[in-house]
């Protein structure tokens, strides 16, 4: 097939916080570089960064410290995080938040003395979450978007979908990426010296989920097919308070941010009883995994609201105060018929963030030379549980690092690698499969996936349910591969896009289930009712999944305690020594 071909020094997949920061840093490092940002939607209007409500974790207050932020991250992640990645996160966050303010142009809320205000977030020992009301993500992504649009040297490919990582003819490096122009249906091969994977995670394979509809785990699916190792794939974070607006609206699952509980919000079951004391001494300010399981337990016990969840109540803090501090969420709830400020709102645990991802180094390099990764596509930073506020910090910190590193890589590797034409042809054929099959009901298959992942691979898991889930996934994928699309016009063919989305979700869902079967203990977001004990922290191991041929193999590797070991404290360990 005749396809368009284009060359660039740096190709960035994704236009969230990681991708935009990388573009700005890369151009600043070398303005002569050819840089392309390719995004599945519209620049700055799609993805998850703009949906961030809560804020940005950074140790700025004299009463706080990077060591304290680090320990909260490690302990919150149940000793599974890569400590080098976590240490870089907490130290670089200070530099990055200053950059956001002074260079990017973000305005964050301030205290009366002019210092940045930090609000309370669950699982943290200090109120360090810098924010712009409850619309922090919109502030960050809007300013980043303005900066990128102001730089004509950065080419923008909007509504371009990445389909496959194409290796070099000798298989030793990455040659480029096969793209699909969604507007025209045309294929394009972009040959690049360096590629940043920053497509974001987005566990939208669950019945209740918060990420935007364009998220379908494409980046991890492509990495899997390219043979790259993925770690911590069982670690799906459920945010405890997703809006439960009813079964007939896509607003269900939309997150109501953690600051509500941090500010003193109460969770009530269907009997109007405050129940968190039964599950954790920190009550509503326990970590997300604990609160999600508590809500799930109330749901399984039948103590539910009319739509099957629980309530969050803020009215005891004063309706006027709530309306002022959480305007964005008050407005959102009002649009759905709920009074967050003065009444009660139904909520349910909702799949929110993916801690798993591609194995990478601190400099964002991956096993495949020429491929870098940042943001939610990267694994290891958060371990078993991400602290609220560490997500957007992760994206911007490592997006900036990738933007600094990739120009150095390009300077050392100035020749383009010729692509593996056989691999390129195979990826095109793979994408065109549904045009060779009779049309079917793709939406029904998607609904089946949502149910099986919630029921069998969800908040609480066991071997029987996980095995059943893998079997159902096989059935859904077989039916999908036998199902086509009726419209043969590839231009803006949304049914075709849905088909491609569902295939990526099936591939990554299977890895989640298989990794969850492999981990026979309960850590953070991963809870096995048949193995409830967390295991020995001192011998902690993380899962590594890799596709070998048509089969996914899951192994385990020991966590390296490079800064601090379980049982040590800030007083007994020099955690910044290495």
Q: How many CA atoms lie within 13 A of 342 on its CB side?
A: 4
Q: What tens digit of pLDDT does each residue of 35-45 get? A: 999 999 999 88
- Looking up tokens 């939607």 gives 41
Which tokens hold the place of 27? 């151009």
Which tokens hold the place of 44? 């700055």
Does 239 participate in catalysis according to the annotation? Answer: yes
Give the sheet arrangement for strand 266-268, strand by strand: 236-243, 344-354, 310-313, 266-268
Q: What is the pTM of this model?
A: 0.96
* Nearest of 39, 50, 49 to residue 15 by alpha carbon: 39
* Superfamily covering domain 4-235+354-421: FAD/NAD(P)-binding domain (3.50.50.60)
**CB proximity list for 232: less than 8 A, separation 6 or greater:** 80, 355, 356, 357, 379, 380, 383, 384, 515, 542, 543
- Looking up tokens 């973000």 gives 106
- pLDDT value at residue 398: 98
- Looking up tokens 């020429």 gives 370
Q: Exposed/middle/buried for 536, CB within 10 Å: 0-12, 13-18, 19+? A: exposed
Q: Which of 131, 160, 261, 285 is catalytic?
A: 261
- Looking up tokens 């706080």 gives 64
- pLDDT value at residue 146: 96
* Nearest of 151, 196, 148, 164 to residue 10 by alpha carbon: 196
Which letter, b or e, does each residue of 332-359 get, where b requires 16 or more Cβ atoms within 10 Å of its Cβ? bbeebebbbbeebbbbbbbbbbbbbbbb
* Domain ranges, ordered by start, for the chain: 4-235+354-421, 240-352, 433-535
- pLDDT value at residue 137: 92
**What is the CATH number assigned to the segment(s) 433-535?**
1.20.58.100
Does 261 participate in catalysis according to the annotation? Answer: yes
Output DSSP code: residue 104.
I
| Ranges under pLDDT 70 in the chain | 570-578
Q: Which of 143, 207, 239, 461 is catalytic?
A: 239
**What is the CATH number assigned to the segment(s) 240-352?**
3.90.700.10
Q: What tens digit of pLDDT does each residue of 303-320 get? A: 999 999 999 999 999 999
Question: What distance in Å separates the CA atoms of residue 148 and residue 404, rounded to the nearest whole number?
Answer: 16
């Amino acid at each position: 097939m005749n396809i368009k071909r284009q060359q660039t020094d740096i190709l960035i997949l994704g236009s969230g916080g990681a991708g935009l920061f990388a573009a700005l840093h890369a151009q600043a490092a070398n303005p002569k570089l050819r840089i392309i940002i390719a995004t599945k939607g519209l620049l700055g209007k799609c993805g998850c960064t703009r949906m961030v409500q809560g804020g940005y974790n950074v140790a700025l207050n004299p009463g706080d410290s990077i060591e304290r932020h680090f320990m909260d991250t490690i302990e919150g992640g149940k000793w599974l995080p890569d400590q080098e990645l976590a240490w870089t996160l907490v130290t670089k966050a200070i530099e990055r938040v200053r950059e956001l303010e002074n260079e990017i142009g973000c305005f964050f809320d301030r205290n009366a003395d002019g210092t940045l205000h930090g609000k309370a977030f669950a699982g943290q020992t200090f109120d360090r979450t810098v924010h712009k009301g409850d619309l922090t993500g919109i502030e960050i992504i809007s300013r980043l978007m303005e900066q990128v649009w102001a730089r004509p040297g950065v080419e923008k490919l909007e509504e371009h979908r990445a389909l496959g990582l194409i290796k070099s003819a000798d298989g030793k490096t990455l040659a480029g990426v096969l793209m699909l122009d969604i507007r025209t249906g045309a294929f394009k091969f972009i040959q690049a010296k360096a590629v940043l994977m920053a497509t974001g995670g987005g566990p939208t394979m669950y019945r209740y989920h918060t990420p935007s509809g364009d998220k379908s785990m494409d980046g991890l699916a492509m990495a899997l097919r390219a043979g790259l190792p993925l770690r911590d794939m069982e670690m799906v974070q459920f945010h405890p308070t997703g809006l439960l607006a009813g079964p007939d609206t896509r607003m269900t699952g939309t997150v109501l941010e953690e600051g509500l509980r941090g500010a003193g919000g109460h969770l009530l079951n269907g009997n109007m009883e405050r129940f968190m004391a039964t599950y954790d001494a920190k009550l509503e300010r326990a970590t997300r995994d604990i609160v999600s399981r508590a809500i799930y337990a109330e749901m399984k016990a039948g103590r539910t609201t009319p739509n099957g969840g629980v309530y969050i109540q803020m009215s005891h803090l004063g309706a006027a105060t709530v309306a002022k501090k959480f305007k964005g969420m008050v407005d959102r709830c009002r649009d759905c018929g709920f009074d967050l400020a003065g009444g009660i709102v139904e909520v349910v645990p909702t799949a929110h963030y993916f801690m798993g991802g591609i194995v990478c180094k601190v400099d964002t390099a991956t096993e495949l030379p020429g491929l870098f990764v940042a943001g939610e596509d990267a694994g290891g930073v958060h371990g078993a549980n991400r602290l609220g506020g560490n997500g957007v910090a992760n994206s911007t910190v490592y997006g900036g690092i990738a933007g600094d590193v990739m120009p150095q890589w390009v300077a050392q590797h100035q020749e383009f690698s010729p692509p593996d034409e056989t691999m390129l042809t195979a990826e095109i054929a793979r994408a065109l499969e549904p045009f060779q099959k009779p049309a079917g009901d793709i939406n029904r298959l998607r609904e089946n996936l949502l149910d099986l992942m919630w029921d069998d691979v969800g908040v609480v898991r066991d071997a029987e349910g996980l095995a059943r889930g893998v079997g159902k996934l096989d059935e859904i994928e077989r039916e999908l591969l036998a199902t086509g699309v009726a419209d043969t016009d590839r231009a803006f063919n949304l049914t075709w896009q849905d088909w491609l989305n569902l295939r990526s979700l099936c591939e990554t869902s299977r890895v989640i289930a298989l990794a969850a079967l492999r981990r026979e203990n309960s850590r953070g977001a991963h809870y096995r009712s048949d193995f409830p004990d967390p295991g020995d922290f001192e011998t902690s191991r993380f899962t590594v999944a890799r596709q070998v041929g048509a089969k996914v193999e899951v192994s385990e590797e020991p966590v390296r305690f490079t800064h601090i070991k379980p049982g040590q404290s800030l007083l007994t360990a020099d955690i910044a020594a290495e």
